Amino acid sequence: MARNAEIGVTHAAFLPTISFTELLGQQSATGGDLFQGSASTWQLGVALVGLLLDFGRAEALVNQAEARQRQALIAYRQAIQTVFQEVLDALVGLRGSDECLQTRARQVAALRNTTERARLRFEGGASSYPEVLDAERRWFTTELDLVATKRDRLRSMVNLYRAMGGVFGVLLTAQTEAKETVD
**Higher-confidence residue: 51 or 127?**
127
Task: Say what the pLDDT of residue 15 is.
Answer: 62
Cβ neighbours, 10 Å, residue 149:
20
Question: What average pLDDT does the segment 53-58 reach?
Answer: 71
Q: Using the predicted structure, report yes or no on whether residue 55 has a pLDDT greater than 90.
A: no
User: pLDDT tens across 56-79, in order?
Assistant: 777 888 888 889 999 999 999 998
d(CA 158, CA 170): 12
Residue 119 contacts residue 132 (beta carbons within 8 Å): yes
pLDDT at 39: 47
171 confidence band (pLDDT: 50, 70, 90): low
- pLDDT confidence bin for 168, thresholds 50/70/90: low
Check: pTM over 0.85? Answer yes or no: no
